[in-house]
Amino acid sequence: MVALVFGLFACSTETKKKEPNKEAVKQEATQTETKQEQQAAQPEEPASVEIPEQTATAETPEKKDDNNEIEIILSTDYGEILLKLYNKTPGHRDNIVKLINEGWYKNSPFHRVINNFMIQGGHNADGRVDPGYTIPAEFVHEYIHKKGALAAARMGDQVNPAKESSGCQFYIVQGKKSNDAELDMIEKRGGFKYTPEQREIYKTIGGTPFLDYSYTVYGEVVAGIEVVDKIASVQTKPGDVPVKAVTMKISVVK
């Protein structure tokens, strides 16, 4: 929110100097806010890890039948979060299960926490921020950034125009409620339409709709949303890093 206020303030200051028309100022402020919002869930660019151009194919784990979804349990000192992985995003589903089975997320930290927005994690406990590959985007219209959505973080559009996902970093949405006017504007910017059911979700449950169809949503919280709220409210230092480390362990429900 501070960043958004700063962006609007900058536009207001420029108005006094150049005296453009009011409509131009309004448009510039909206564009500034949009760019800052859409960059919000991007992972920090690794300082020492190179992301190759090619993507890796994750090994496919043992599947449940088509009518069921694989579930995972994320354990923290604040409690457990049960999530289900969507079958219509198989690349992301199979990849996170592969990393879980390899122990990637054992004692992994939530390194970025923003209240009323999301909690982000995925670094390996040994300090690696990426396994060295990306996952092709899997946008499915029915999967939106409602509260409790599990989604993949990624690098920004300038260096990642295909919107490919980080090989390991993810975030769980907390967000906030939206109104029809806000959803109308997001639809206009994105060139898509929400269903009446999706609109009702954003108006009653909340989420981060400005990220829809720019970041892959591949699962959701089934139980333990209160744990997400607890983690989102921890004290943070510059960079949105928790003052007291919040670590996790993830296991696949057998």
Dump pLDDT digits (tens) for 4-30: 332 322 333 333 334 445 444 344 444
pLDDT, residue 86, reads 98
Let me know: does 209 contact 183? Beta carbons within 8 Å: yes
Q: DSSP code of 22?
A: H
Q: Write down the mean pLDDT value for the chain.
A: 82
Does 77 or 32 have the greater pLDDT score?
A: 77
Distance of CA 123 to the CA centre of its chain: 14
Which ranges in 135-247 belong to alpha helices (H)?
A: 180-190, 196-204, 225-232
pLDDT, residue 116, reads 98
pLDDT higher than 80, residue 2: no
Dump pLDDT digits (tens) for 222-233: 999 999 999 999
The beta strands (E) that lie in 126-232 are given as 134-135, 149-152, 165-166, 170-173, 217-223
- The H or E element that residue 82 is part of is strand 79-85
Dump pLDDT digits (tens) for 145-189: 999 999 999 999 999 999 999 999 999 999 999 999 999 999 999
pLDDT, residue 91, reads 98
Mean pLDDT of 191-210: 98
pLDDT, residue 127, reads 86
pLDDT, residue 125, reads 87
Whose structure tokens read 């993507």?
55
Q: Note the pTM of the prediction, 2 decimals.
A: 0.77
pLDDT, residue 67, reads 56
Instruction: Report the number of secondary-structure helices (H) and strands (E) in the chain.
Output: 6, 12
Dump pLDDT digits (tens) for 47-58: 322 323 333 333
Let me know: does 168 contact 98? Beta carbons within 8 Å: no
For residue 130, name the pLDDT band (cuts at 50, 70, 90): very high
